[in-house]
């Protein structure tokens, strides 16, 4: 299911193809462009054009009330963003959020995939149920999480109290120390099933005979995992880390609806900061600058990540 | 492994714990919707749903808002689904079957757009849509939502077409079939499961979408369920049971359809990430 090798496309100028192409007027060298054009034009209009617009905003003073009335201010927005201490906190929160989400989601995903791998009764049902959190809409997840974490009536507080771990005042989402962990747990809960399902598919590629041979040779479960399983699923793990990184940097609804970045900015990720700067402080120029800085950071992270994973692959194949 | 009873027991316990954690929040949504005020706000924790209170669902549906929310969500989702499939099928075909100048850039562009957060583009899109008169309109939301799900659907369909033997369509071309006919008559029927998976993803990205809906729509009659359910958070006037009932009615379709299409959805999404 998860193919990592890049398939080499057939050469279009084979004798065979060239003959046919001459016959039909539509089957010319323009054919692929005609097929690709609608989607490409669509994305240029609704993604590239707004992105350029946003880039332009970042060099202007623009209010949400008058988005077409911009005053060019050069790098002022960037300087004020980078110089502010709240932005440093935002970057820190974002890094913690992304790293913990990625490690947590991929880790729990791998753990549950190993649990669900192999033969047992009810496996199909178990796999299906495990995917539920991933399918639930973020808005609904935020609603139920907020209710479960409610200070007075939330089931989490009641259970914590029952085992003697009661939180003072029951404050979780309202507490600077506990809001981010609570949001992290919720996010990982939402993300891990996807990792689990993808990892399960990858585990089907692990040669069972080799595992059994390793066990017979006296390899413990950990050793046989490291030597036999890990090399097979490694590319999938890399891919999941990449996807989870992108998704975590982008994540908005869950955090916004649960805490709006508070209390005192402890859950204020770049995307939340970008939105609240634009829609609560009405400062579109600064919001755009935050967004651009975030975009550059995530591009660097993703490119570096791919580079590292390619290098690792080469090392392995050598 | 099979000979080790301790390992087997540990696995069973592990699976049950993991399943419990995965399912509990939605279960709790259900239980809360069927719990009396007395138990909800008293000291006693009710762990099982009181099925005699099932009328709360009918009651929630009678409220005009909920039906309208779900209807608007349905329109947005269906529109996003149709538009995404319509745009993704040809581009997926072009990426899979042809080699042309700029192909790499198209694939890279599709991959990179997945990195753009909705919150980044919401302002320029708002300004753009206002000049087009697409504010407070469901078609406007369909256009915005499609832009964000189109790349994923395109990769799913490209991956599916990659899996069909080329010989089939080459035979058809020898018989004088034009490229568009080759796509619609030969390839599409063969990739029907992947088209369905792409359709499910696109449908529910429209169904779930919140940022554009809450920003672009101020007319209550145009609000979808995502905005409606979100408005419940921190709200005190609506009974908690009703909130949970509505949220569950909004959640269940997504869960059920995702479960059905799960395998193809995952295959397509990972293919997009790897080959982009």
| pLDDT, block means (10 residues), chain B with 276 residues | 65 88 93 87 82 85 86 96 96 90 89 87 89 92 95 88 84 82 84 86 92 93 93 83 92 86 69 44
Selected residue with higher pLDDT from A167 and A91: A91
Tokens of A316: 């392995």
| pLDDT bucket at A21, cuts 50 / 70 / 90 | very low
| pLDDT bucket at A104, cuts 50 / 70 / 90 | very high
Q: Are A266 and A172 in contact (CB under 8 A)?
A: no
The confidence score (pLDDT) of residue A38 equals 94
How many angstroms separate the Cα of B210 from the Cα of each of A68, A161, B3, B225, B234?
25, 35, 51, 9, 17
The confidence score (pLDDT) of residue B274 equals 42
pLDDT at A55 over 80: yes
pLDDT at A293 over 50: yes
Classify domain B54-275 at the CATH topology level. MetI-like fold (1.10.3720)
The confidence score (pLDDT) of residue B139 equals 95
Q: How far is CA A254 from the centre of its chain?
A: 13
Report the percent of chain A where pLDDT is more than 70: 90
The confidence score (pLDDT) of residue B58 equals 86
Query: Mean pLDDT, to the nearest integer, of A164-190?
Result: 90
Tokens of A24: 């039909």
- Cα torsion B64, B65, B67, B68: sign: positive
Selected residue with higher pLDDT from A205 and B244: B244
Selected residue with higher pLDDT from A199 and B260: A199
How many angstroms separate the Cα of B74 from the Cα of each of B137, B141, B209, B230?
14, 12, 12, 17
Average model confidence (pLDDT) across chain A: 84
Mention the CATH class of domain A77-317.
mainly alpha
Burial class (CB in 10 A: 0-12, 13-18, 19+), A68: exposed
B164: left (phi over 0), alpha (psi -120 to 50) or beta: beta
Q: Are A270 and A214 in contact (CB under 8 A)?
A: no
The confidence score (pLDDT) of residue A132 equals 87
The confidence score (pLDDT) of residue A103 equals 96
The confidence score (pLDDT) of residue B5 equals 64
Which residues touch A85 (CB under 8 Å, ≥6 apart)?
A: none
Nearest CA in chain A to B251: A136
Which residues touch A295 (CB under 8 Å, ≥6 apart)?
A: B115, B116, B120
Query: Mean pLDDT, to the nearest integer, of A153-182?
Result: 88
| pLDDT bucket at A43, cuts 50 / 70 / 90 | very high
Which of chain A's residues have a Cβ under 8 Å away from the Cβ of B25?
133, 136, 141, 144-145, 148, 189
How many angstroms separate the Cα of B207 from the Cα of each of A218, B221, B268?
52, 16, 20
Tokens of B262: 């799960």
The confidence score (pLDDT) of residue B268 equals 64
A-proximal residues of B, 46-85, CB under 8 Å: none
Q: Nearest by CB to A197, from B23, B95, B262: name it.
A: B262
pLDDT at A41 over 80: yes
pLDDT at A212 over 90: no
As a whole number of angstroms, the distance between CA A200 and CA A117 comes to 6
Which of B7, B9, B25 best probes binding to A when mutated, by most A CB atoms within 10 angstroms? B25
Q: Nearest by CB to A135, from B118, B232, B255: name it.
A: B255
Question: A113-130 pLDDT, tens per residue?
Answer: 998 887 778 888 888 888
| pLDDT bucket at A49, cuts 50 / 70 / 90 | very high
The confidence score (pLDDT) of residue A318 equals 54
Window from A131-135, A272-276, B247-251 with minimum mean pLDDT: A131-135
Which of chain B's residues have a Cβ under 8 Å away from the Cβ of A144?
25-26, 28-29, 244, 247
As annotated, the residues of chain A forming the CATH 1.10.3720.10 domain(s) are 77-317
Taking the CA of residue B29 and the nearest CA in chain A, the distance in Å comes to 6
Domain residue spans of chain B: 1-53, 54-275
């Amino acid at each position: 299911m998860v193919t990592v090798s890049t398939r080499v496309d057939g050469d279009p100028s084979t004798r065979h193809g060239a003959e046919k192409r001459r016959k039909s007027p539509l089957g010319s060298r323009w054919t692929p462009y005609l097929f690709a054009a609608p989607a490409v034009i669509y994305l240029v209009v609704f993604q590239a054009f707004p992105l350029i617009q946003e880039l332009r905003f970042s060099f202007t003073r623009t209010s949400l009330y008058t988005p077409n009335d911009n005053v060019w201010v050069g790098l002022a927005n960037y300087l004020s963003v980078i110089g502010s201490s709240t932005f440093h906190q935002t970057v820190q929160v974002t890094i913690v959020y992304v790293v913990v989400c990625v490690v947590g989601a991929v880790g729990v995903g791998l753990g549950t995939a190993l649990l669900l791998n192999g033969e047992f009764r009810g496996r199909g049902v178990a796999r299906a149920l495990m995917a539920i959190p991933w399918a639930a809409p973020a808005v609904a997840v935020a609603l139920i999480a907020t209710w479960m974490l409610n200070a007075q009536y939330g089931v989490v507080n009641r259970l914590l109290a029952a085992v003697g771990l009661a939180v003072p005042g029951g404050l979780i989402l309202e507490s600077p120390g506990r809001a981010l962990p609570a949001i992290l747990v919720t996010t990982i809960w939402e993300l891990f099933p996807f990792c689990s399902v993808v990892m399960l598919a990858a585990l089907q590629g692990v040669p069972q005979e080799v595992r059994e041979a390793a066990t017979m040779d006296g390899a413990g479960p950990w050793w046989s995992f490291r030597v036999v399983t890990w090399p097979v699923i490694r590319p999938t793990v890399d891919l999941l880390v990449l996807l989870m990184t992108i998704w975590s940097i982008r994540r908005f609804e869950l955090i916004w609806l649960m805490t709006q970045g508070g209390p005192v900015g402890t859950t204020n990720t770049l995307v939340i900061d970008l939105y609240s700067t634009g829609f609560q402080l009405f400062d579109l120029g600064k919001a755009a600058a935050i967004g651009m800085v975030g975009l550059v950071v995530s591009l660097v992270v993703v490119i570096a990540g791919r580079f590292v994973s390619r290098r690792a692959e080469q090392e392995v194949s050598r | 492994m099979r000979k080790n009873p301790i390992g087997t027991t540990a696995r069973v316990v592990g699976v049950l714990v993991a399943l419990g954690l995965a399912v509990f929040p939605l279960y709790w949504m259900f239980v809360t919707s069927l719990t009396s005020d007395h138990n909800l706000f008293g000291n006693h924790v009710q762990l099982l749903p009181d099925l005699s209170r099932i009328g709360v669902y009918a009651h929630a549906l009678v409220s005009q808002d909920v039906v309208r929310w779900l209807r608007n969500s349905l329109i947005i989702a269906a529109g996003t689904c149709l538009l995404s499939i319509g745009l993704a099928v040809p581009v997926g075909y072009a990426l899979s079957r042809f080699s042309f100048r700029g192909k790499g850039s198209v694939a890279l562009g599709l991959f990179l757009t997945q990195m753009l957060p909705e919150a980044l583009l919401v302002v320029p899109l708002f300004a753009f849509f206002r000049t087009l008169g697409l504010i407070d309109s469901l078609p406007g939301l369909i256009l915005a939502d499609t832009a964000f799900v189109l790349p994923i659907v395109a990769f799913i369909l490209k991956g599916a077409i990659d899996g069909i033997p080329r010989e089939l369509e080459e035979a058809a071309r020898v018989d004088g079939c034009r490229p568009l006919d080759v796509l619609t008559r030969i390839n599409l029927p063969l990739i029907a499961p992947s088209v369905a998976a792409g359709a499910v993803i696109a449908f529910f990205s429209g169904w779930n979408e919140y940022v554009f809906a809450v920003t672009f729509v101020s007319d209550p009659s145009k609000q979808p369920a995502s905005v409606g359910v979100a408005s419940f958070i921190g709200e005190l006037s609506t009974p908690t049971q009703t909130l949970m009932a509505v949220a569950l009615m909004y959640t269940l379709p997504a869960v059920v359809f995702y479960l059905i299409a799960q395998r193809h959805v995952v295959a397509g999404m990972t293919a997009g990430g790897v080959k982009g």
